[in-house]
A and B are shown apart, each in its own frame.
Chain A
Amino acid sequence: GEDVEQSLFLSVREGDSSVINCTYTDSSSTYLYWYKQEPGAGLQLLTYIFSNMDMKQDQRLTVLLNKKDKHLSLRIADTQTGDSAIYFCAESANDMRFGAGTRLTVKP
């Protein structure tokens, strides 16, 4: 099975909050990452969290980590149409392992 799992699709209205969830299996992961990929583009590092942290906030982005449940989430406040993209969760216990990506669609 997948080492990193994400739901494939999320649709929200402009101005609402988006929450993208991720679960991982390797408890030795030191860092967990969120990358954003817009159509036809490479991966843009959005944010990352060290495994001994519970939360990290960076402007509109909030990352929550539940290490006991191996659950990571990304909350985007006041979601805009420019946030429409695929969001990849990744963990780096050894190699970088990516989830399948969540396609976020923001409706005006």
Chain B
Amino acid sequence: DTEVTQTPKHLVMGMTNKKSLKCEQHMGHRAMYWYKQKAKKPPELMFVYSYEKLSINESVPSRFSPECPNSSLLNLHLHALQPEDSALYLCASSQGLADQETQYFGPGTRLLVL
């Protein structure tokens, strides 16, 4: 089973709303990632968690707040977003953080900020 699931599939929110994106994997992977993908662009890394601890934050604005409640779950809390934050948000996981660890991606949450 190489499945990473993400909910919701689509999300529309206003700039004053608070919402959360969820990601789950049951492959026993200890590294999980959030990526942002704008239309016609490759994914851009946002955050990396390793063993439930934040390992990398790629200078992401504080209106995005990641959380890793346990080794299978990764959340991304959204607050006071801007229209330019509209994008596909992809979660991925890998066995560990080493460069030879293959990342498996979820289907993404398509976010529209009005």
Contacts and interface: CB of A to CB of B under 8 A. Distances in A.
Contacts of B102: 31, 33, 45, 48
Contact of B103 (A28, A50, A96): A96
Given A96-B45, A100-B41, A29 B99 contact: yes
Interface stretch (B12-20, B66-74, B77-85, B106-114): B106-114
B42 A92 contact: no
A101 B38 CA distance: 12
Contact of A88 (B42, B99, B108): B42
A26 to B, nearest CB: 10
A35 B105 contact: yes
B97 to A, nearest CB: 10
A30 B40 CA distance: 27
Q: How large is the interface on B (under 10, 10 to 19, 20 to 34, 35 or more residues)?
A: 20 to 34
A31 B107 CA distance: 23
Interface of A: 28-31, 33, 35, 40-45, 48, 50, 88, 92-96, 98-101
A3 to B, nearest CB: 11
Nearest to B43: A98
Nearest to B106: A42
Most-contacted residue by chain A among B6, B40, B43, B107 (CB, 10 A): B43
B100 A31 contact: yes
B56 interface: yes
A104 B64 CA distance: 33
